[in-house]
Amino acid sequence: MNPNVPSIEQLKELGLPAPVSYAPQTWGWWVLLGLLIVLAIVVGVRRYLHWRRDQYRREALVRLAQLRERSDDLNALRELPELLKRVAISIPTRSRHWYAFPVGAGLPANASGQSASTLNVTASSRASPLPRGPAALGKEDWQRYLQRHSKKTLPADFSEQLAQLAYAPEDTLRALPGDQRQALFDTCQYWVEHHHVAA
């Protein structure tokens, strides 16, 4: 037996190298990481604001589903035009329209104590009529408004059908065929889901 054979007691454990850090080693990676974090925050905030902005749309779709379940009820049919008007009024705009208020409303008094609403400025003296919001639209104007905010072509008489639901006698509404009622609900649902909102 060879006396120079090492014994197991002479073996030593090898030292492990220092662990590799997962932190970026150069400043460029830190900049990239910072940009990615900022980008994630911006995207998250934009998605949250978009989700919040569309709250009126989600509520309208819930109400529309409830009305569809009661499509045989005349009150449900009569509520369809009102629901679309409420959705149109709720569409967020870039800024509140100044023309929605009377001339001088909410303005402070001038230096002489005379309020701005009593100045010699009247709406009738303007050369062109003031624009109207969707609540005041009717007939062809309402049809054009609905079509302008729709991504696909709506039926040409859609606003007339809505007016019929709102004002026709009960016998006329009872005589509406079921498929025509469902087509109205489908068109209303499409418009509420897909109407265009100005950014």
58 contact partners, CB below 8 Å, separation of at least 6: none
**132/149: higher pLDDT:** 149
d(C-alpha 8, C-alpha 15), whole Å: 18
First vs last Cα of the chain: how many Å apart?
A: 91
d(C-alpha 85, C-alpha 137), whole Å: 9
Q: Which residue has the tokens 């003031």?
A: 130
Per the structure, the count of domains in the chain is: 1
Which tokens go with 137? 């639209």
- Of 44-48, 59-63, 93-97, 137-141, which range is least confident? 93-97
- Of 57-66, 75-84, 101-110, which range is least confident? 101-110
Please give the pLDDT value at position 62: 93
Question: Does residue 135 register a pLDDT over 80?
Answer: no
- Length reported for the chain: 199
Q: Which conformational region is residue 78 in: left (phi greater than 0), alpha (psi within -120 to 50 degrees), or beta?
A: alpha
Query: Quick check: is 155 in a domain?
Result: yes
How large is the average pLDDT for residues 19-24? 82
Please give the pLDDT value at position 118: 40
How large is the average pLDDT for residues 64-91? 88
Query: Quick check: is 148 in a domain?
Result: yes
Collapsing DSSP to helix, strand or coil, 94 comes out as coil
Query: Quick check: is 169 in a domain?
Result: yes
Query: Quick check: is 191 in a domain?
Result: yes
Query: Quick check: is 114 in a domain?
Result: no
Domain around 74: 55-93+133-199
Which tokens go with 48? 């949250």
Question: Does residue 131 register a pLDDT over 70?
Answer: no
Query: Quick check: is 44 in a domain?
Result: no
d(C-alpha 49, C-alpha 43), whole Å: 10
Which tokens go with 91? 């569409």
